[in-house]
Amino acid sequence: MTVILTEKAALRLRTFLRASNAEDPSAPRKAVRLAVGDGGCSGYEYKMNITSESAPDDLVFEEDKVLFFIDKTSAPLLEGIQIDFVDGLTESGFKFSNPNATDSCGCGKSFKVGDCTPAGTSCS
Protein backbone atom coordinates (compact mmCIF):
# COMPACT_ATOMS: atom_id res chain seq x y z
CA MET A 1 0.00 0.00 0.00
CA THR A 2 1.39 3.38 -0.97
CA VAL A 3 0.29 6.65 0.63
CA ILE A 4 2.47 9.66 -0.12
CA LEU A 5 2.55 12.48 2.42
CA THR A 6 3.95 15.89 1.66
CA GLU A 7 6.17 17.36 4.34
CA LYS A 8 3.35 19.68 5.48
CA ALA A 9 0.79 16.86 5.67
CA ALA A 10 3.16 14.59 7.61
CA LEU A 11 3.97 17.36 10.08
CA ARG A 12 0.28 18.21 10.60
CA LEU A 13 -0.71 14.55 11.09
CA ARG A 14 2.14 13.92 13.54
CA THR A 15 1.02 17.02 15.47
CA PHE A 16 -2.57 15.71 15.66
CA LEU A 17 -1.35 12.29 16.80
CA ARG A 18 0.98 13.74 19.46
CA ALA A 19 -1.82 15.94 20.83
CA SER A 20 -4.18 12.96 20.91
CA ASN A 21 -1.60 10.79 22.72
CA ALA A 22 -0.88 13.58 25.22
CA GLU A 23 -4.41 13.17 26.63
CA ASP A 24 -3.49 9.71 27.94
CA PRO A 25 0.18 8.73 27.50
CA SER A 26 -0.53 5.17 28.68
CA ALA A 27 -3.12 4.60 25.93
CA PRO A 28 -2.22 2.54 22.84
CA ARG A 29 -0.44 4.36 20.02
CA LYS A 30 -2.80 6.45 17.91
CA ALA A 31 -3.10 6.14 14.15
CA VAL A 32 -4.82 7.82 11.24
CA ARG A 33 -7.73 5.81 9.85
CA LEU A 34 -7.92 6.67 6.15
CA ALA A 35 -10.98 5.42 4.30
CA VAL A 36 -13.36 5.99 1.43
CA GLY A 37 -17.11 6.08 1.88
CA ASP A 38 -20.16 6.60 -0.29
CA GLY A 39 -21.06 10.27 -0.37
CA GLY A 40 -20.01 13.66 -1.56
CA CYS A 41 -20.98 15.29 -4.80
CA SER A 42 -18.95 12.88 -6.97
CA GLY A 43 -19.96 9.61 -5.29
CA TYR A 44 -17.04 8.75 -2.99
CA GLU A 45 -15.63 10.89 -0.22
CA TYR A 46 -12.42 10.72 1.79
CA LYS A 47 -12.61 10.03 5.50
CA MET A 48 -9.82 10.57 8.04
CA ASN A 49 -9.91 10.26 11.80
CA ILE A 50 -7.63 9.51 14.73
CA THR A 51 -8.01 6.13 16.43
CA SER A 52 -6.06 3.56 18.39
CA GLU A 53 -8.07 0.54 17.26
CA SER A 54 -7.49 -1.36 14.06
CA ALA A 55 -9.91 -3.85 12.56
CA PRO A 56 -8.76 -7.42 11.89
CA ASP A 57 -8.69 -6.90 8.10
CA ASP A 58 -7.01 -3.45 8.14
CA LEU A 59 -3.80 -2.77 6.33
CA VAL A 60 -1.48 -1.35 8.99
CA PHE A 61 1.63 0.56 7.95
CA GLU A 62 3.71 3.60 8.75
CA GLU A 63 4.61 6.47 6.44
CA ASP A 64 6.77 9.42 7.58
CA LYS A 65 6.35 8.36 11.23
CA VAL A 66 2.54 8.37 10.86
CA LEU A 67 0.76 5.08 11.59
CA PHE A 68 -2.12 4.33 9.18
CA PHE A 69 -5.08 1.92 9.30
CA ILE A 70 -6.84 1.37 5.95
CA ASP A 71 -9.68 -1.11 5.47
CA LYS A 72 -9.37 -3.61 2.65
CA THR A 73 -12.34 -2.15 0.73
CA SER A 74 -10.85 1.36 0.66
CA ALA A 75 -7.29 0.25 -0.10
CA PRO A 76 -7.64 -0.19 -3.90
CA LEU A 77 -9.32 3.23 -4.17
CA LEU A 78 -6.53 4.88 -2.17
CA GLU A 79 -3.46 3.15 -3.64
CA GLY A 80 -0.85 5.78 -4.55
CA ILE A 81 -2.77 8.72 -3.07
CA GLN A 82 -0.85 11.87 -2.21
CA ILE A 83 -1.99 13.87 0.80
CA ASP A 84 -0.99 17.50 1.18
CA PHE A 85 -1.93 20.16 3.73
CA VAL A 86 -2.74 23.68 2.61
CA ASP A 87 -3.13 26.66 4.89
CA GLY A 88 -4.22 29.82 3.14
CA LEU A 89 -6.59 32.75 3.28
CA THR A 90 -9.36 31.07 1.29
CA GLU A 91 -8.96 27.46 2.34
CA SER A 92 -7.19 25.29 4.86
CA GLY A 93 -7.03 21.53 5.26
CA PHE A 94 -5.90 18.27 3.76
CA LYS A 95 -5.88 17.97 -0.03
CA PHE A 96 -5.98 14.63 -1.81
CA SER A 97 -4.43 13.82 -5.16
CA ASN A 98 -5.71 10.38 -6.13
CA PRO A 99 -4.30 8.63 -9.22
CA ASN A 100 -7.31 6.26 -9.19
CA ALA A 101 -9.89 9.05 -9.52
CA THR A 102 -11.44 9.46 -12.95
CA ASP A 103 -13.09 12.71 -11.85
CA SER A 104 -13.37 14.84 -8.73
CA CYS A 105 -15.49 17.76 -7.66
CA GLY A 106 -14.37 21.31 -7.05
CA CYS A 107 -14.22 20.90 -3.27
CA GLY A 108 -11.49 18.25 -3.60
CA LYS A 109 -13.11 16.01 -0.98
CA SER A 110 -15.12 13.83 -3.36
CA PHE A 111 -14.20 11.71 -6.37
CA LYS A 112 -15.34 9.14 -8.95
CA VAL A 113 -13.68 5.91 -10.02
CA GLY A 114 -15.16 4.84 -13.34
CA ASP A 115 -18.48 3.01 -13.50
CA CYS A 116 -18.27 1.53 -9.98
CA THR A 117 -18.90 4.91 -8.30
CA PRO A 118 -22.13 5.36 -6.33
CA ALA A 119 -24.43 8.29 -7.17
CA GLY A 120 -23.25 11.64 -5.82
CA THR A 121 -25.22 14.27 -3.96
CA SER A 122 -25.22 18.00 -4.52
CA CYS A 123 -22.54 20.08 -2.76
CA SER A 124 -25.14 22.58 -1.55
pLDDT in tens, 3-60: 999 999 999 999 999 998 877 778 889 999 999 998 877 788 999 999 999 999 999 9
3-state secondary structure of 85: strand
**Distance (Å, rounded) from C-alpha 59 to C-alpha 9?**
20
Q: Dihedral, CA atoms, 84, 73, 40, 88, nearest 10 degrees?
A: -10
pLDDT band at 124 (very low <50, low <70, confident <90, very high): very low
- State pTM to two decimals: 0.84
For residue 120, what pLDDT is reported? 45
Ordered DSSP codes for 37-73: EEETTTEEEEEEEEES---TT-EEEEETTEEEEE-TT
**Distance (Å, rounded) from C-alpha 118 to C-alpha 86?**
28
Contact between residue 72 and residue 4 where contact means Cβ atoms under 8 Å apart: no
